[in-house]
């Protein structure tokens, strides 16, 4: 139930990019909205994505309408949160003369969509021009073509959608898992989820008299359980969509594909570089914050969505493929390997990387005779806003005109902090005023935009607020305090997603203890809880490294890891 005992208009399950944008749209339309996420906003597939607000160049020939929509949506996202966005000028290297004309024609076709996402038309470069622009390229190619794509801080984009929902009246909970759907038979009160064999139809489909009236949820950190009642429940659980439909006795499936990308410890190029992998698939390297990303793979996934791991072969595949155009890329250190599962729609009989990136909204009353449940499946991060708009339209149709008469406004409104970003002079003023390093203020502004001063104002009132806690990024203690107080950060990993603490070359080994201390004090946590969180943070960081390390490097990391995880710490500090 809502705090005042009212039933919500809509309960959104899943706080990935899709669910967060659905909750935002619902709240902006004046619906009484609740959003629950079992881990943290952006902790699912969204947190493993490459962060490109790209225009869908790869579907230009097979699905130009999707390319058009992606370009338009990329432009809308960029306007909503300009402080989170950065330009990635790409170079496509063309290995032989006879391919140049064909590639140029292809890019000329794509150019018509560029304006919608503020990209420039392509330019064809000679071999020497391309090498002057990016000396790290392997010489000997025929020509090169440029392409403009934007990148985004995807963790914050996801968070800001949830935050905006909250600022427009939604109740928003992370670390809150739906364990059951509440299913009501006609003329009955709510009862627990029916198992498929209870649904009365041979296919496990629901009978037309059934209705979802909300969900039972559990706070994963405290263990508390309760019911949330709602007129309409939205299943926005990405690759976990089938698990939630199964809670209502419905048998749906996706064709999930696993994607892996790797993060290098530095920027090895100043531009994005595309390459063909050994199997002919397109992959790319893109400079991102202080690092570089190389990705992605795309393989059918039949495993457990809760335990997705990369393999050493997948990392080799990406590195060896990228070496064909950037011979020295292997000199950089792989600091993290990311693996996620795309929630792609079910299609049979085609290669996995040809599976559509389109999305569908399923109103289960129309499809299965089950009222009160709507599922959003498929799609991409870039088009999350339009996916949310279509989903909220379906919610509004179910609620009827009395409750949902307001139109969608998400294409025109900024996200929190997106209504301005301090320029260079303003950043210098802030650095002087709060006596903090200019570099730290600059990074802060790329996360908080127009709210940068508010973060410093509040955080620097505390003793220690000016301290740089994470030196790789850098991240100020002031920001850590702010995200705990105002952005639902409840664990160290939550702080990482919001601030990038622990995402640099040291992967949190130099800063996680200090951040844990701040978290413990801010939230009044028991020291044992803080230590358990610290260990889980380090294990999570370790998981992203261990699949790639080998030999001496693995042994050294094992020793470091063991030392940190030992209760006395690496220097036996418990005895000091
Ligand atoms: C390697 C890789 C690279 C990619 N790169 C890009 C890119 O550059 N650009 C782009 O546009 N797209 C990209 N994508 C695709 C994009 O990441 C996904 O399409 C998108 O993030 C899916 O978002 P989602 O919200 O639907 O799913 P998710 O982000 O997975 O969110 C679903 C959420 O539901 C929660 N949940 C599950 N069960 C429950 C429950 N019972 N109770 C409460 N909550 C629950 C999960 O914890 C999760 O947070 C990439 C994907 C991969 C794998």
In the prediction, which pLDDT does 557 show?
A: 76
Q: Which of 317, 352, 387 is the last residue of a domain?
A: 352
541 lines ligand 1 (CB under 6 A): no
Q: 392: Cβ below 6 Å to ligand 1?
A: no
> What is the C-alpha to C-alpha distance for residues 37 and 155, in angstroms, rounded to an integer?
14
Q: Whose CA is closest to 237, among 362, 326, 350, 131? A: 362
Is any atom of ligand 1 closer than 6 Å to the C-beta of 340? Answer: yes
Is residue 256 within 6 Å of ligand 1 at its C-beta? no
Examine the domain organization and report whether 474 and 362 are in the same domain.
Answer: no
Final residue belonging to a domain, choices 352, 373, 391: 352
The answer on 329 and 366 residing in a single domain is no
pLDDT-derived band of residue 103, with 50, 70 and 90 as boundaries?
very high
Q: Are residues 342 and 461 in the same domain?
A: no
Mean per-residue pLDDT for 542-569? 75
505 band by pLDDT with thresholds 50, 70 and 90: confident
pLDDT of residue 189 exceeding 90: no
Residue 129 lies in a domain: yes
Output b/e per residue, 23-42; b: 16+ Cβ within 10 A.
bbbbbbbebbbbbbbbbbbb
**Percent of the chain whose predicted confidence (pLDDT) is above 70:** 93
Q: Which of 5-9, 413-417, 439-443, 563-567 has the lowest mean pLDDT?
A: 563-567
Supply the CATH number for residue 303's domain: 3.30.9.10
Q: What's residue 321's pLDDT?
A: 96
pLDDT of residue 179: 98
Cα–Cα distance measured from residue 478 to residue 499, given in angstroms and rounded to the nearest whole number: 11
Per-residue pLDDT at 200 exceeds 60: no
- Return the pLDDT at 567: 59
Average pLDDT over residues 75-99: 96
- Compute the distance between CA of residue 241 and CA of residue 492 in angstroms, rounded to an integer: 27
Q: Check pLDDT > 60 for residue 3.
A: no
What distance in Å separates the CA atoms of residue 359 and residue 383, rounded to the nearest whole number? Answer: 9
Asked if 460 and 570 sit in the same domain, the reply is yes
The pLDDT of residue 550 is: 79
Over 90: is that where the pLDDT of 302 sits? yes
In contact, 542 and 336? CB cutoff 8 Å: no
- The answer to whether position 415 is within a domain reads no
CA–centroid distance, 308 to ligand 1, in Å, is: 13
Predicted confidence at residue 188, as pLDDT, reads: 61
Query: How many domains are there within the chain?
Result: 3
**In this model, does residue 205 exceed pLDDT 70?**
no
Task: Establish if 409 belongs to a structural domain.
Answer: no
Q: Are residues 363 and 387 in the same domain?
A: yes
Contacts of 447 (CB under 8 A, 6+ apart): 83, 84, 153, 156, 417, 479, 498, 499, 500
Q: Is the pLDDT of residue 469 over 90?
A: yes
Largest Cα–Cα distance in the chain?
A: 76
**294 with 433, same domain?**
no
Q: At residue 38, does pLDDT exceed 60?
A: yes
Mean pLDDT of the chain: 91
From the CB of 18, is ligand 1 less than 6 Å away? yes
Strands 373-378 and 291-295, sheet pairing? unpaired
Res. 395 pLDDT band, cuts 50 70 90: very high
More confident residue, 66 or 202: 66
Q: What is the DSSP pairing of strand 225-235 with strand 171-173?
A: unpaired
Q: Which atom of ligand 1 is nearest to the CA of 338?
A: 1
State the pLDDT at residue 207: 52
Ligand 1 contact, 382 CB (< 6 A) = yes
Degrees to nearest 5, angle at CA 96 with 92 and 99: 70
| Strand pairing class (143-152; 85-94) | antiparallel
Q: What pLDDT is stored for residue 435 in this prediction?
A: 96
What does the pLDDT read at residue 117?
A: 95
| Cα(143)–Cα(2) distance, integer angstroms | 61
Q: Are residues 432 and 509 in the same domain?
A: yes
Q: How confident is the model at residue 202 (pLDDT cuts 50, 70, 90)?
A: very low
> The domain containing residue 345 runs over which residues?
86-148+256-352
- Do 226 and 213 share a structural domain? yes
Q: Does a structural domain hold residue 417?
A: no
In a shared domain, residues 529 and 439: yes
Rg (CA), the chain: 24
Output the CA–CA distances (angstroms, integers) from residue 230 to 21, 37, 216, 234, 399, in the order listed.
18, 16, 11, 10, 11
Tell me 437's DSSP state: -
Nearest residue (CA) to ligand 1, atom 27: 238
* For ligand 1, mutation pick of 228, 237, 245, 308 (most atoms within 8 Å of CB): 237
| Percent of the chain whose pLDDT exceeds 90 | 81
- Min mean pLDDT across 2-11, 40-49, 228-237, 358-367 is at 2-11
Domain stop point among 291, 326, 352: 352
Of 491, 475, 476, 477, which Cα lies nearest the Cα of 523?
Answer: 491
**Residue 56 maps to a domain:** no
Same domain assignment for residues 161 and 236: yes
Together in a domain, 488 and 518: yes
Of 34, 46, 220, 256, which is best to mutate to test ligand 1, by the most ligand atoms within 8 angstroms of its C-beta?
46
Residue 56, pLDDT score:
87
Strand (E) or helix (H) holding 143: strand 143-152
Q: 428 and 333 in one domain?
A: no
Q: Is residue 248 part of a domain?
A: yes
Lowest mean pLDDT among 25-34, 73-82, 184-193, 435-444: 184-193
User: Averaged over 106-127, what is the pLDDT?
Assistant: 96
Identify whether 366 is part of a domain: yes
Per-residue pLDDT averaged across 558-564, rounded?
74
Helix, strand, coil distribution of the chain in percent, nearest 5 = 40, 20, 40
Residue with tokens 């201390």: 517
Task: Give the residue whose CA is nearest to atom 24 of ligand 1.
Answer: 238
Domain for residue 66, yes or no?
no
Q: Cα(422)–Cα(433) distance, rounded to whole angstroms?
A: 14
| 184-188, 308-312, 426-430: range with highest mean pLDDT | 426-430
Per the omega criterion (within 30 degrees of 0), is the bond before 106 cis? no
115 φψ region: left (φ > 0), alpha (ψ -120 to 50), beta (else): alpha
What CATH number does residue 30 fall under? 3.50.50.60
Whether 187 has a pLDDT exceeding 90, the answer reads no
pLDDT at residue 176 greater than cutoff 70: yes
ipTM of this predicted structure: 0.99
Q: How confident is the model at residue 195 (pLDDT cuts 50, 70, 90)?
A: very low
């Amino acid at each position: 139930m809502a705090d005042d005992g009212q039933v919500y208009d809509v309960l959104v399950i899943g706080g990935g990019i899709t669910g967060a944008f659905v909750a935002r749209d619902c709240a902006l339309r004046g619906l009484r909205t609740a959003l629950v996420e079992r881990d943290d906003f952006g902790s699912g597939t969204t947190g493993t994505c490459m962060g490109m607000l790209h225009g869908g160049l790869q579907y230009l020939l097979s699905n130009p309408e999707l390319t058009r929509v992606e370009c338009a949506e990329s432009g809308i996202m960029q306007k909503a949160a300009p402080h989170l966005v950065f330009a990635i000028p790409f170079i496509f290297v063309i290995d032989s003369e006879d391919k140049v004309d064909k590639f140029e024609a292809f890019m000329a076709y794509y150019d018509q969509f560029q304006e919608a996402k503020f990209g420039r038309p392509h330019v064809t470069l000679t071999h020497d021009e391309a090498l002057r622009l990016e000396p790290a390229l392997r010489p000997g190619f025929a020509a090169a073509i440029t392409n403009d794509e934007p990148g985004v801080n995807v963790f914050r984009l996801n968070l800001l959608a949830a935050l905006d929902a909250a600022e427009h009246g939604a109740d928003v909970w992370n670390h809150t898992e739906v364990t059951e759907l509440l299913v009501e038979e006609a003329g009955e009160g709510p009862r627990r989820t029916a198992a498929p064999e209870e649904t009365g139809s041979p296919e496990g489909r629901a009978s037309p008299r059934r209705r979802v009236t909300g969900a039972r949820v559990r706070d994963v950190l405290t263990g508390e359980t309760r019911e949330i009642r709602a007129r309409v429940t939205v299943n926005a659980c990405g690759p976990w969509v089938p698990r939630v439909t199964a809670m209502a006795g419905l048998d749906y499936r996706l064709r999930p594909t696993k994607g892996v990308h790797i993060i290098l410890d530095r920027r090895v190029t100043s531009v994005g570089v595309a390459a063909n992998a050994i199997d002919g698939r397109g992959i790319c390297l893109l400079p991102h914050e202080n690092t570089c990303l190389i990705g992605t793979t795309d393989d059918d996934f039949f495993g457990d969505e809760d335990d997705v791991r990369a393999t050493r072969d997948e990392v080799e595949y990406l590195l060896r493929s990228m070496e064909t155009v950037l011979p020295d890329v292997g000199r950089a250190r792989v600091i993290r390997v990311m693996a996620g599962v795309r929630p792609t729609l079910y299609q049979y009989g085609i290669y996995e990387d040809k599976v559509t990136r389109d999305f569908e909204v399923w109103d289960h009353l129309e499809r299965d005779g089950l009222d009160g449940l709507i599922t959003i499946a498929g799609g991409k991060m870039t088009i999350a806003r339009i996916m949310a708009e279509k989903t909220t339209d379906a919610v509004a149709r179910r609620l009827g005109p009395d409750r949902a008469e307001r139109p969608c406004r998400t294409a025109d409104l900024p996200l929190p902090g997106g209504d301005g970003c301090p320029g260079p002079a303003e950043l210098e003023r802030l650095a002087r005023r709060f006596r903090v390093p200019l570099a730290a203020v600059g990074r802060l502004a790329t996360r908080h935009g127009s709210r940068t001063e508010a973060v410093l104002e509040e955080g620097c009132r505390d003793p220690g607020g000016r301290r740089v806690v994470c030196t790789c990024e850098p991240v100020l203690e002031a920001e850590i305090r702010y995200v705990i107080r105002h952005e639902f950060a409840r664990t160290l990993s939550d702080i990482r997603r919001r601030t990038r603490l622990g995402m640099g070359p040291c992967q949190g080994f130099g800063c996680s203890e200090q951040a844990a201390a701040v978290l413990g004090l801010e939230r009044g946590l028991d020291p044992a809880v803080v230590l358990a969180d610290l260990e889980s943070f380090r294990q999570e960081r370790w998981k992203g490294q261990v699949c790639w390390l080998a030999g001496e490097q693995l042994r050294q990391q094992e020793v470091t890891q063991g030392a940190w995880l030992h209760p006395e710490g690496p220097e036996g500090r418990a005895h000091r």
